[in-house]
Structure 1
C-alpha cells in the first residue's frame, strides 16, 4: 500500500513537472501584432521610418509600433489596432 502511494505521488509530480513548461506559454500562432499599445521603447518591432526595430518606439502608444499580444485581445486594449496607425 505504501509503495503504491509513493508511486502515485511520484507519477503526479513527474506529470506536473512535464506539463509546467506548457502552462502560461503560447505558441507564436496564438499571437497577433497589435499597433498602438506599446510603451515607449517596449515595442517588439517596427516603429516607423528611421527606427531600427525592437525597443525603438519613442512615445507611448505610437501608432506604427507593434507588440505581440494574444490573438483576439488587441482590439480589446485601449488604443489597440490590428493595422498600422502611423
Structure 2
C-alpha cells in the first residue's frame, strides 16, 4: 500500500512539473532583452560587466538589461538585443 501511494505521489509530481515547464517557454516568447533601461540593482542581467541579476551599479547602464514585453523596449528608451 505504501508503494502505491509513493508511486502515485511521484507520478503526480511529474505531471505538475511538466505543466510548469511547458508554460515557461510561452511566457519567454512574449519578452525581449532591453538594454539601457534598468535601474541600479534592478537589472535581469548584463553583458560582461558583472555576474548577473540585481547587480547594476548605475541607472540605465547600456550593458545591463531587463526583460520587457516584445515591441516595448524602444518606446521605453532602450535598445532591444541579444548581446
Q: When the two structures are superposed, what TM-score results if normalisation uses the length of structure 1?
A: 0.60
- Which residue of 1 is the match for residue 80 of structure 2? 82
Q: Which runs of 5+ in 1 are unaligned?
A: 1-25
- Which residue of 2 is the match for residue 65 of structure 1? 64
**Alpha-carbon separation, structure 2, partners of 1:37 and 1:47:** 14
- Which residue of 2 is the match for residue 48 of structure 1? 48
Contact map agreement 1:39 1:60 (CA 8 A) in 2: yes
Please state if 1:29 is matched with 2:39. Answer: no
Please state if 1:39 is matched with 2:39. Answer: yes
Q: Match of 2:37, SS?
A: coil
Q: How many positions carry a matched residue from both structures? A: 58
CA shift in 2, pair 1:54/1:48, >3 Å: same
Q: Match of 1:28, SS?
A: helix
**Alpha-carbon separation, structure 2, partners of 1:65 and 1:47:** 7
- The structure with the largest helix share of the pair is 2
